[in-house]
Amino acid sequence: MSAQGPTRWQEAVIERIAPLTPRIVSVVLKADLARHVAGQHLDVRLTAPDGYAAQRSYSIASAPGRPFELIIEKLDDGEVSPYFHDIAQAGDAIEVRGPLGGHFIWRAGDGGPVLLVAGGSGIAPLMAMVRDWACTAAALPLMLVCSARTWDELPFGEELERLEASRADFRFVAAITRSPGHRPSDRTQRLDAPALRELIARWGHVPRHVFVCGSNRFVEGVTRGLADAALAAGMIRTERYGGAE
Amino acid sequence: MVTRGFTGRRPTAAFARRLPPGQFETDDFPVLAKGPTPEIDLAAWRFTLSQGPRPLASWNWAEFAALPRTQWQGDIHCVTTWSKFDTRWEGVSIDDLLAAAGVAPPSAFLLALSHDDYDTNVPVADLVGGRAMVATHFDGQPLTAEHGGPARLLVPHLYFWKSAKWLKGLRFTARDEAGFWELRGYHMYGDPWKQQRYSDDP
């Protein structure tokens, strides 16, 4: 483990970079950083030859103790994400610091039942929680609801299907909004209050911890729906990207 | 360390001067919050100045709206690296709030308290002398709930997590007590020009 604090910039080497969906790449890093807690992020810094630098935060999608995996969605007007999509290759070095963040996190000892709701690339920190849960937690109900426009745009779909087949206490629901569902259990409507209420009722558990991650618009819609479904605001943690007028 | 193949997207020289290190300029107005956006009923809204547990002064929405108004235009900087230029705010300056309460600051530090149980610490010196307000309007319109309405703190010279959303009061504290993010790895002061993002940044 690293002897330095989490905020010191360090070199990380890209071990593997591969598309997860048409717009999202998975970047696996080799870096001498402290073990993370599921839900934490890394800061990434890229530097041009003249010293100009840009930095962004990316949630870690891998389980604690595993090599750091970031998932990066290409933003058409982005500055950092196009580098990972169009330029970066295995063997390239970047700078990172972390792991960082002490609120949007879950440890096996925090218990459950746990409800995770992801919109698009917002699945990253929730995937770390699912993977951590799969390695460490005793029987503990966990439901992951992922929204994507099509099944092909949903990261980690096959891994999540396999996990659902192997663990009775894991429920995986894909909410596919722009095409037919991939599986009979998939939903094809928006995650509004009635849809969320029905999903929770069918799950049969009252969540103790709820994590919602995605665009601001997605998180606002889901958290309003959860409030209408009578979940207390105090148990719901959010992480958002993008803005509102 | 130079990153192979990275060129970046430079701001213009005029923008670069206004951009603290490690920030980028955006036209968007990103929303960040630890949990759901609270729904706040103006009829039940109260704003309270307190010293520890002891209330010093308190206003309901109508009383607060009758206080002297202040406008400010300028740049804001979020620790997540976005900056937004030329934002326009209106509200009640902390100087006017203290004057209306008829109190001098009883200590050098306070915690800004929010309706969603969020809090953040700010030195009083950073709030007085025209440096901060309780903002109720953005860009000429009542502040929306997602951006902290009906009222949020505005301390534009510090990272924006200090500008607590859904503000319900300011509590003077005897010493500099860490707030929500400050207890979770973020810097006690948060000067964007010094990149004071995380607790062990100098």
- The helix/strand count (H/E) of chain B reads as 3, 11
Complex prediction ipTM: 0.95
Residues linked to residue A196 through DSSP beta bridges, in sequence order:
none
Interval A165-184 mean pLDDT:
91
Nearest to A57, CA basis, from A37, A80, A35: A80
Query: A23: which DSSP letter?
Result: T
Report residue A161 as tokens: 């299907």
CB contact under 8 A, A238 and B33: yes
Mean pLDDT of B82-93: 98
Residues of B in contact with A46 (CB under 8 A): 3, 6, 8
What is the phi/psi pair of residue A214, to 5°?
165, -160
The CA distance from A113 to A107, in Å, is: 12
Identify all chain A residues contacting B35, using CB atoms and an 8 Å cutoff. Answer: 223, 233-234, 236-238
Nearest residue in A to B183, CA atom: A102
Where are any strands of DSSP class E within A10-62? 10-21, 24-30, 41-47, 53-59
Say yes or no to pLDDT of B180 above 90: yes
- pLDDT grade, residue B18 (50/70/90)? very high
Residues B131/B70, Cβ–Cβ less than 8 Å: no
Shortest Cα–Cα distance, A156 to chain B (Å): 25
Residue B25 pLDDT more than 70? yes
Give the residue from A96, A237, A59, A204 showing the smallest Cα distance to B116: A237
Q: Which two tokens stand for residue B104?
A: 């001098």
Name the band, by pLDDT with cuts 50, 70 and 90, for residue A189: confident
State whether A244 and B29 contact (CB < 8 Å): yes
Percent of chain A at pLDDT > 70 equals 98
What pLDDT does A225 receive? Answer: 96
What is the total residue count of chain A? 245
B 49-88 near A (Cβ less than 8 A): 80-81
| Residue A138: predicted pLDDT | 78
Band (pLDDT 50/70/90 cuts) for residue A2 is very low
* pLDDT above 70 for A193: yes
pLDDT tens-digit readout, B109-136:
999 999 999 999 999 999 999 999 999 9
Strands A170-176 and A142-148, how do they pair? parallel
Note whether B3 contacts A92, CB cutoff 8 Å.
yes
Q: Name the interface residues of A facing B (CB cutoff 8 Å).
A: 5-7, 11, 46-49, 52-57, 79, 83, 87-88, 92-95, 100-104, 216, 220, 223-224, 226-227, 233-234, 236-238, 240-245
User: What are the residue ranges of helices labelled H in B75-156?
Assistant: 94-101
Q: For residue B57, is pLDDT > 80?
A: yes
CA A105 to CA A138: how far, in whole Å?
A: 18
Rounded CA gap, A5 and B185, in Å?
11
8 Å CB contact between A160 and A144: yes
pLDDT > 90: percent of chain B = 98
Q: 3-class SS at A97?
A: strand
Task: Say if residues A74 and A27 touch (Cβ distance below 8 Å).
Answer: no
Q: Is residue A245 very low, low, confident or very high in pLDDT (cuts 50, 70, 90)?
A: low
Name residue, tokens 């980028």: B24
Alpha-carbon span B60 to B51, nearest angstrom: 19
Q: Measured between alpha carbons, how far is A178 from B44 in angstroms, rounded to an integer?
A: 42
Cβ <8 Å between A240 and B180: no
pLDDT band at B20 (very low <50, low <70, confident <90, very high): very high
Determine the pLDDT at residue B149. Answer: 97
Contact A161, A191 (CB under 8 A): no
Neighbours of A108 (CB within 10 A): 16
Which percentage of chain B shows pLDDT scores above 70? 100
Q: How confident is the model at residue A31 (pLDDT cuts 50, 70, 90)?
A: very high
Can you list the domains of chain B with their CATH numbers?
A: 39-194 (3.90.420.10)
Whether the per-residue pLDDT at B181 is higher than 80: the answer is yes
What are the distances in angstroms from CA A101 to CA A6, A42, B193? 10, 9, 22
CB of A130 closer than 8 Å to CB of A211? no
Mean pLDDT of chain A: 94
* Average pLDDT of the residues in A168-179: 93
Buried b / exposed e along B99-129 (16+ C-beta atoms within 10 A): ebeeeebbeebbbbbbbbebbbbbbbebbbe
Mutation site, B1, B6, B144, interface A, largest A CB count within 10 A: B6
Residue-averaged pLDDT of chain B? 97
Does the structure show a pLDDT above 90 at A4?
A: no
Q: Give the pLDDT score at A1.
A: 36
Contacts of B31 in chain A (CB under 8 A): 216, 220, 240, 242-244
Min Cα separation B152/chain A (Å): 16
